[in-house]
């Protein structure tokens, strides 16, 4: 476990205010535990209101230093409320860690407009709007950190994960633009890119209604796609060596750097795919990945 020292960047306050979203499970929970162990700082942990009772079961108690606040990242009113409270009581957010998000499992044809909007609202619109809300205080202090938890899916896509990849591609592009905009003000923007993580997070994906029906209907044209991809992703998660704790440690090391990079590869597979995509011609890259898909020869119409 990484020991979290005071940030090396002397421009940050001695007791920075940290706002973390999605703090009751996975990477968010691992980060929450490490931030609470930090010898300095004011920590604001957030989760959906229905998830707040989990904190007590996890042994995380509210205190003067650790705030527990409800926040549905897709709810604009809740975003404004939590940022306004932090501004009024603590002088603003110094470090924003956008971790909350959702992953839909669905081919494009099985995703309706409402589901598509929810995917984008959770992984792109909500996090970037939260960044927008905290930036005025950071600019006024001429320091701050915005850390967006992205994914290897933000640089390459997988079948049945198109909407998720689209949301992460959008987050990557907007964060890169924000990096340029904030650099003159001393505000650092970082994308942390995990690959496959050894956890049960694959069980928390949201199936679109049509995808769920197709998975159960052998006559559906996409049945084989779902039947092949779901256990394939589960196997990749189970053999992965990185854990939520490893990702949390990488985030903390990033916080302690004077000049953090825009993109941080949080797992070895994320770095591998980044290098592969840059080194291999696109046509070859996509052909290789296509051939490696499980049961892909059965995906199309019967011969």
Q: Which residues are catalytic?
A: 150, 164, 168
The b-or-e profile of 204-233 (16+ CB within 10 A means b, else e) is: ebbbbebbeebbeeeebebbbbbbbbbebb
Distance, in Å, from the CA atom of 42 to the CA atom of 64, rounded to the nearest integer, reads 8
What string of DSSP letters covers 130-156? HHHHHHHHHHHHT-EEEEEE--GGGTS
Q: Mapping DSSP to helix (H, G, I), strand (E, B) and coil, where does residue 114 land?
A: helix
CB atoms within 10 A of CB 8: 12
């Amino acid at each position: 476990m990484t020991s979290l020292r005071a940030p090396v960047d002397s421009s940050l306050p001695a007791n920075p205010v940290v706002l973390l979203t999605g703090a009751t499970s996975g990477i968010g929970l691992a980060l929450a535990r490490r931030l609470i162990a930090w010898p300095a700082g004011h920590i604001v942990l957030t989760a959906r209101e229905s998830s707040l009772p989990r904190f007590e079961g996890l042994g995380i108690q509210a205190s003067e230093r650790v705030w527990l606040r409800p926040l549905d990242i897709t709810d604009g009113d809740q975003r404004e409320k939590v940022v306004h409270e932090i501004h009024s009581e603590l002088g603003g957010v110094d470090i924003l860690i956008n971790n909350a998000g959702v992953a839909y499992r669905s081919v494009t044809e099985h995703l309706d407009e409402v589901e598509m909007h929810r995917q984008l609202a959770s992984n792109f619109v909500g996090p970037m709007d939260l960044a927008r809300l905290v930036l005025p205080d950071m600019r006024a202090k001429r320091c701050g950190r915005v850390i967006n938890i992205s994914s290897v899916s933000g640089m390459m896509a997988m079948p049945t994960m198109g909407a998720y990849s689209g949301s992460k591609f959008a987050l990557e592009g907007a964060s890169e633009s924000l990096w340029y905009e904030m650099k003159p003000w001393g505000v650092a923007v970082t994308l942390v890119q995990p690959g496959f993580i050894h956890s049960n997070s694959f069980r928390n994906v949201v199936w679109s209604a049509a995808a769920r029906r197709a998975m159960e209907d052998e006559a559906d044209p996409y049945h084989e796609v779902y039947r092949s991809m779901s256990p394939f992703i589960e196997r990749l998660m189970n053999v992965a060596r990185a854990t939520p704790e490893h990702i949390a440690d990488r985030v903390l090391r990033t916080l302690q750097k004077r000049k953090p990079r825009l993109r941080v590869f949080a797992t070895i597979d994320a770095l591998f795919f980044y290098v592969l995509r840059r080194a291999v011609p696109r046509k070859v890259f996509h052909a290789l990945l296509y051939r490696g898909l499980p049961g892909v020869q059965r995906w199309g119409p019967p011969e």
